[in-house]
Structure 1
Amino acid sequence: MAEELKNRMHATVRGRVQGVSFRYFVVEQAENLNLYGWVRNKWDGAVEVTAEGKRQDLETLLQALREGPPMARVTDVDFEWQDSTGEFNGFQVRSTV
């Protein structure tokens, strides 16, 4: 993987983000940006996202997380940059934790 691809973002999105197709919105955004990783609901009502790819594409995804799909109402997005692991093959919805 080229140096420019070695970026990873982990985010937690809060607000009205469950029951509004938020996870599938994230998958669509991530696939359009050629990102790899996963998204899942959390029992506390949040949505958790881990994505790897080019930094500018991750920043575009982060902006999409802040906006969400039409029925969502995002109140907070916490995120951190991490070291890329290259462990993902595609972008998937994971089980709730």
Structure 2
Amino acid sequence: MGQYRIVVSGRVQGVGFRYFTLSKALEFDIKGWVRNREDGTVEASASGTESQLSDFIASLRRGTRFSLVENLEITPEEDRGEYAGFRIK
């Protein structure tokens, strides 16, 4: 199991990116959360197996047809087993 903090930059607010992230988290059985940040980026904390996280991150990189993902900042976090599901903050 692993856990990452992911900050997505580009045109990712006002285009349904958080709901897209939620749907991908459910698809790949990722636990954690996602939220908009004041600087226009979207931040997520994601926990799962390395395979699940790899697929999840790849889907975030592609984004939706309405978004334009310019960069993903991915930082490992300590997995404390604190997430029961995935939610939008």
Q: Compute the TM-score of the two structures, normalised by the length of structure 2.
A: 0.96
Which one of the candidate residues 41, 66, 70 is aligned to 1:75?
70
- 2:86 is the alignment partner of 1:87: no
Give the CA deviation at 1:89: 1.2
RMSD: 0.7
Q: Using the aligned pairs only, state the percent identity.
A: 36
Which residue does the alignment assign to 1:54? 49
Q: Deviations over 1:22-70 (max 9, x none)?
A: 0000000001111100000000000001010111110111111111111
* Structure 1: gaps of 5 or more residues: 1-5
The alignment covers a number of residue pairs equal to: 89
* Structure 2: gaps of 5 or more residues: none
Give the CA deviation at 1:83: 2.0
Structure 2 distance, partners of 1:53, 1:75, is 24
- Which one-letter code corresponds to 1:85 in the other structure? R
Q: Which runs of 4+ in 1 moved over 4 A?
A: none
Q: Compute the TM-score of the two structures, normalised by the length of structure 1.
A: 0.88
- Which one-letter code corresponds to 2:16 in the other structure? S
Higher radius of gyration, 1 or 2: 1
Which residue does the alignment assign to 1:28? 23
Q: Name the SS of the counterpart of 1:8 in structure 2.
A: strand
Q: Name the SS of the counterpart of 2:70 in structure 1.
A: strand
